[in-house]
Amino acid sequence: MKKIIVLTMLVLLAIGMPVLASDVTFGGDFNIESGSNFKEGYVDKFDLTLDVTAVVDDYNTVSWEMELASGWAVIDNPKLVTDIGAAFGLNDFGVGAVVSSGIFESANQEFVCITGYEIEDVAAVEAALIGGAEVVLTFADLVNVQLASDFDGAAKNWLVGSYGTVGPVSAEVFYACEGDALADGQLIVDALFSQEMGILALDAGAGFWYDLAGDEDATPISREWKYGVGVAATADVGISVGGGVGLMGTSQEDHILDAVAIDLSVDPLEDLGIDVGIYLNTYTKPSGDDTPMLDHIDFSVYKNIGAAEYRVGYYYPGDEAVKYATFRDTSLNAPMTELDPDGGGFYLVVDIDY
């Protein structure tokens, strides 16, 4: 009860912000997920967030997030963003400069998020900044240079890179050091091609992640390198029909092709649709490995009622899933994953962004 009271006080405080700022906007998300196999039990998740953004003046914006999840009320990501380029007139010369400071996680752009599973998104870097700063320089609205670090130099968290979009192509290259020696960081690069051609919309991209201190025989999260490739297409033929395929592999010899994810969608009406996801384990399996190729199938139907989405689905976790629980928690829409191998069954998801 005290946690709810604290959250309510924070909300009331946020509502009073117009006195201090010229413009305050609110947004967030309300999400409920539940699923059951009607045998061992069920999984459930509740999450409520409130995003607050206060424009203080022509150059400064303050933002933070309040979240109520699993009975805990927290305030997260407090951040001050200052438009240095506008303050010093640099924008008149085609140069933008924005400085962010606070307690937040700085990350790269992650252009290659193509399929619903997003396993192709290997080029993901999030330098945990417990009190940090970030500078983004923009040149001619084409090329951006990003530099981020935490205030505590002993933590050795750094992120530096460049990204931009020219026509249908978006690309980035970044180097991140997350608590390691500066020379033991991770290099990432990815590029996305996105184009609409008549009734067809096409996305195709690839990413590569290389750990200078990695080991090709280590656990999946710390192997020497990994790659991802994805392609997706959507056609408007009176109804919307789309699909995508994502591939992911790592440096370990028998995991060069580690997984394939397929998602399919049919939207017979603007606010009614069907989604199907298929996840395949495609790595070379050593003798005695019981892991089947079919990891899981996720089938669901959703209906939008205004801004709210109601989804009902069925999650099939593969043959004898209890024998092969993995490190993955990947799913398309189901709240049940391989981390809960007996969690197959029907599920319900209710979500609204506001």
Q: Are strands 72-83 and 95-107 parallel, antiparallel or unpaired?
A: antiparallel
Residue 318 φ/ψ region, left for φ over 0, alpha for ψ in the -120 to 50 degree band, beta for the rest? left
Residue-level pLDDT at 2: 40
Helix or strand run (H / E) with residue 7: helix 2-15
Residue-level pLDDT at 124: 83
Task: For residue 218, give every residue at least 6 positions away whose Cβ sits within 8 Å of its Cβ, in sequence order, or none.
Answer: 224
- Rounded Cα distance between 345 and 74, Å, is 32
Helix or strand run (H / E) with residue 171: strand 169-178
Residue with tokens 């998602």: 263
Residue-level pLDDT at 278: 95
pLDDT mean values, one per 10 residues, the chain (354 residues): 41 45 86 83 82 96 89 85 96 95 88 94 75 91 92 72 96 86 86 95 96 69 84 94 95 87 94 95 76 89 96 87 59 77 83 94
Residue-level pLDDT at 201: 96
Buried b (16+ CB within 10 A) or exposed e, 276-312: bbbbbbbbeeeeeeebeeebbbbbbebeeeeeebebe
Q: Do the Cβ atoms of 139 and 95 come closer than 8 Å?
A: yes
Residue-level pLDDT at 1: 38
Label residue 82 exposed, middle or buried (CB < 10 Å: 0-12, 13-18, 19+).
middle
State pLDDT tens for residues 322-338.
665 554 567 899 888 75
Domain segments of the chain as ranges? 1-78
Amino acid at 34: S
Q: Do the Cβ atoms of 314 and 299 come closer than 8 Å?
A: yes
State pLDDT tens for residues 221-236.
557 899 999 999 999 9
Q: Do the Cβ atoms of 76 and 105 come closer than 8 Å?
A: no
Arithmetic mean of pLDDT over the chain: 85
Instruction: At 201, list the tokens.
Output: 């919309």
Residue with tokens 């923009």: 138
**100 has which bridge partners?**
81, 134
